[in-house]
Amino acid sequence: MKITSVEAIPLAVPYRRPFAFASGTVTAADHVLVRITTDDGLVGHGEAPPRPYTYGETAASIVAAVRDLFAPVLVGADPFARERLRADLARTVANNAARGAIDVALWDLVGQACGQPVHVLLGHAADDVAAAHMIGLGTPAEMVADAVEVNDTHGVEAFKVKVGRDLAHDLAAVRELRRELGDAVELYADANRGWDADTAIVAARRLADFHVTMLEEPNPADDVLGRRRIVRESPIPVVGDESTITLGGVARSLLDGDSQAISVKVARTGFTDSAKIVGLCEGLGVTTMVGNQIDGMIGTVASTALACGQRALARHPVEVTNFLLMADDVLAEPPVIADGRTAPRQAPGLGITIDPDKLARYRADR
C-alpha cells in the first residue's frame, strides 16, 4: 500500500457563540481537514486546528506546509512506516498542528487496512471514558449557565475553567461554579499563560479554597524561573500544556521542575508522539490527561480513541465537548456524550465518514 495523494482542505464552520480564553477568542472553526489517499482506495483523515496566538500556525500556513513541505515526503510512502515518516517530517521544525493531523490520518489508514479501530491498535485500555468540558471566559453567570447546560444535557461532571484575566473576576466565577455545581464535580483551572508568577501563586492558593484540583499554564512559558517558583509554592499541581508541546519539551519541563502533570493533545502530537509522551510520563510517575485544542468533531473522535487506547489517559476525564460550540461540522455522525461518558468508534481506523455535502458547504477554498 502506497500513498498517492495528500490534501489540506481549509474549512470555515460557524460557532454557536464565541469561545474566549486568556490568550485569544475563537468565533469560527477555521480548521484544516487533512486527507491522505492510498493506491488501494483507502482514505485517512486528520484535523488541524490553527492557533496562531499559541503555536504560530494559521489555516493558510497549515495548508502551505502540508502541500509544499509534507506531501512530497508522503506521496509514494508506505503509511505503515510511521516512524520513518515521523523522522522525515521532523526535519521541518514546528508546524505542530499540521504534523499532528498527518499522523492521525496515517493511523486512520493503518486501522482501516488492518480492520481495527485506532483505540484497539493503541492498546484498548478502556471501552469508554469520562468527559470533561472547557468553560470559556465570560461573566460568572454565563460560565455557570454553560456548565449547568452541559451537566444537565450530557451528564458531564468534570470542568476545566478558563481563568487568567482579572483575578477577582476569575475567583468570583470559580466561586459561583462551585456553589452551583456542588462539591461532587471536579473543577480545574487553565490560565493560558495569562498571569504573572506572583499573581499565579496567589491565585493557586485561593483556587485551592474552592477545591480546584489543578492549575494549567499559569504564566508565560518563557518565564522559566517564575514557573518554577509557582510549582514550588502552589498547593495544587501545575499542568504543562502550551509550554510542553514536544516530547523533548515535556522531558525538560518535568526534569527542570516546571510542571507536575502534562496535558496531551492529539491535535499537536498526533497519536504517535502522544503515546511517547504518555510513556515518558508513566516512567516518571507523572499524571497525564487528554486536553482539547478547541477541536472539531474529527479531533474529538481522535482524542477519545487516544484516551481509550492508553491506560494512563483513560483514568482521567477527557476534554471532548467543545465541538458542541460549533453550529455544524463535516462528519456524517457527530460524537455522542451521554451520562458524562463517551466511547470510541468501533469501525476500523477512526471510524468516521465525511459528509460530502457538508464538506462542500464549509470548505473555504472554493
Residue among 112, 260, 293, 310 flagged as catalytic: 293
CA 329 – CA 270 distance, rounded (Å): 20
Strand 43-48 and strand 32-38: the pairing is antiparallel
Determine whether 260 is an active site residue: no
For 128, residues 6+ apart whose C-beta sits below 8 A from its C-beta are 308, 341, 342, 343, 344
In the block, which residue shows the cell 461532587?
184
User: How many other C-beta atoms lie within 10 A of the C-beta of residue 334?
Assistant: 15
Catalytic hit among 57, 160, 162, 186:
162
Contact between 212 and 188 under an 8 Å Cβ cutoff? The reply is yes
For the question of residue 276 being annotated catalytic, the response is no
293 is catalytic: yes
**Alpha carbons 296 and 363: distance in angstroms, whole number:** 14
In the annotation, is 47 catalytic?
A: no
Of the candidates 57, 146, 186, 216, the residue annotated as catalytic is 216
Is residue 162 part of the annotated active site? The answer reads yes
User: Which stretches does DSSP call E strand in 23-115?
Assistant: 24-29, 32-38, 43-48
Active-site residue (options: 57, 108, 157, 190): 190
Residue 29 is inside which H or E element, if any?
A: strand 24-29
- Of residues 57, 265, 273, 329, which has the active-site annotation? 265
Strands in 68-174 per DSSP E = 129-135, 158-162
Residue 87 class from Cβ within 10 Å (0-12 exposed, 13-18 middle, 19+ buried)?
exposed
Catalytic residues: 162, 190, 216, 241, 265, 293
